[in-house]
């Protein structure tokens, strides 16, 4: 288990990732990719759909919410801060600010009332130069993607090397190692039947070599396949066992699987989280 602690917060509410604690779920649903209704709402500047997604994920056990507004005909500079402000009206858990435009990131961090998680920085030269200084300036934590100017490596060894480069670049400007969460990148099994195996090897190697917290966009593994939820449910226990401490997931679909995984791995004293989660999901 990971002993290094990454702490993020929203106002007075903080969440600790790692530190031999339970798996933390980052809710992925506030993202217009593949969600026509949400994309249409964002184009109109209608934040009711964003608030509804936030509340549903919190009810399903999400402890951090990823916020992404990037889609066609949406002005990220305008809509991202508005979406964050809307979520803050209904959510008291930390946010993961998922952004393409560093200027939009700065606007979002200006209004965020705690220690945010930034999604993301890569080892690409431009990304390191534009994102890491903002992470430092706003005392945020950041997800480091295992890719560089040559793209996503095909080997676990290369992904570990990139993770080291991101951590070194962050350290050079005063960002501590505990504020870096590595994403080894989960790719679609539908186009490469070895994609999940390489990702899991990467997670294990990064865990053993660096001991940092790790996330994955877990649902990417099933993209293009039938019965995607079952593939995701099979993948997550393996990823958590390998060293993923805060997967980015749909908690409505896989939250119970994550709770059961922690229970089996001995991370749930007296089974209380699992039982409480079961009661919450079956209370209506």
CATH number for the domain spanning 71: value is: 3.20.20.20
Residue 283: per-residue pLDDT = 81
Domain carrying residue 242: 8-277
> Given this model, what pLDDT does residue 284 score?
61
Record the pTM: 0.97
Domain contains 43? yes
pLDDT at residue number 140? 98
Split into its structural domains, the chain has a count of 1
Residue 2 domain-assigned?
no
Low-confidence residues of the chain: pLDDT under 50: none
The answer to whether residue 143 sits within a structural domain is yes
**Residue 284 domain-assigned?**
no
pLDDT, residue 191, reads: 96
Question: Is the residue at 201 inside a domain?
Answer: yes
| Domain membership flag for residue 283 | no
In a domain, 181, yes or no: yes
Residue 1 lies in a domain: no
Q: What is the pLDDT of residue 249?
A: 98
pLDDT for residue 1:
59
Assign 3-class secondary structure to the chain: CCCCEEEEEECCEEEEEECCCCCCCEEEEECCCCCHHHHHHHHHCCCHHHHHHHHHHHHCCCCEEEECCCCCCCCHHHHHHHHHHHHHHHCCCCEEEECCCHHHHHHHHHHCCCCCEEEEECCCHHHHHHHHHHHHHCCCEEEEECCECCECCCCHHHHHHHHHHHHHHHHHCCCCHHHEEEECCCCCCCCCCCHHHHHHHHHHHHHHHHCCEEECEHHHHHCCCCCHHHHHHHHHHHHHHHCCCCCEECHHHHHHHHHHHHHHCCCCHHHHHHHHHHHHHCCC
């Amino acid at each position: 288990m990971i002993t290094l602690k990454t702490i993020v917060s929203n106002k007075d509410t903080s969440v600790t990732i790692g530190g031999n604690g339970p798996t933390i779920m980052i809710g992925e649903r506030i993202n217009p990719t593949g969600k026509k209704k949400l994309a249409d709402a964002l184009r109109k500047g209608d934040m009711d759909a964003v608030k509804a997604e936030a509340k549903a994920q919190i009810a399903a056990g999400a402890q951090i919410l990823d916020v992404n507004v990037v889609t066609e005909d949406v002005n990220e500079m305008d809509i991202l801060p508005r979406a964050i402000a809307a979520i803050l009206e209904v959510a008291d858990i930390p946010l993961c600010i998922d952004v393409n435009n560093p200027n939009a990131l700065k606007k979002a961090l200006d209004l965020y009332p705690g220690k945010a998680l930034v999604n993301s920085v890569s080892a690409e030269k431009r990304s390191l130069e534009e994102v890491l200084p903002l992470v430092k300036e706003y005392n945020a934590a950041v997800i480091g993607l295992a890719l560089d100017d040559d793209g996503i490596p095909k080997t676990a060894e290369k992904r570990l090397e990139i993770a080291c480069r991101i951590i070194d670049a962050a350290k050079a400007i005063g960002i501590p190692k505990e504020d870096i969460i590595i994403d080894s990148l989960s790719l679609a099994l539908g186009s490469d039947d070895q994609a999940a195996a390489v990702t899991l090897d990467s997670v294990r190697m990064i865990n053993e070599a660096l001991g940092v917290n790790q996330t994955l966009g877990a649902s990417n593994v099933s993209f293009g396949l039938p019965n995607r939820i079952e593939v995701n449910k099979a993948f997550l226990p393996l990823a958590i066992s390998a060293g993923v401490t805060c997967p980015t997931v749909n908690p409505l679909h896989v939250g119970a699987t994550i709770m059961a995984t922690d229970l089996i791995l001995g991370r749930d004293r007296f089974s209380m989280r699992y039982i409480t989660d079961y009661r919450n999901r079956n209370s209506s």
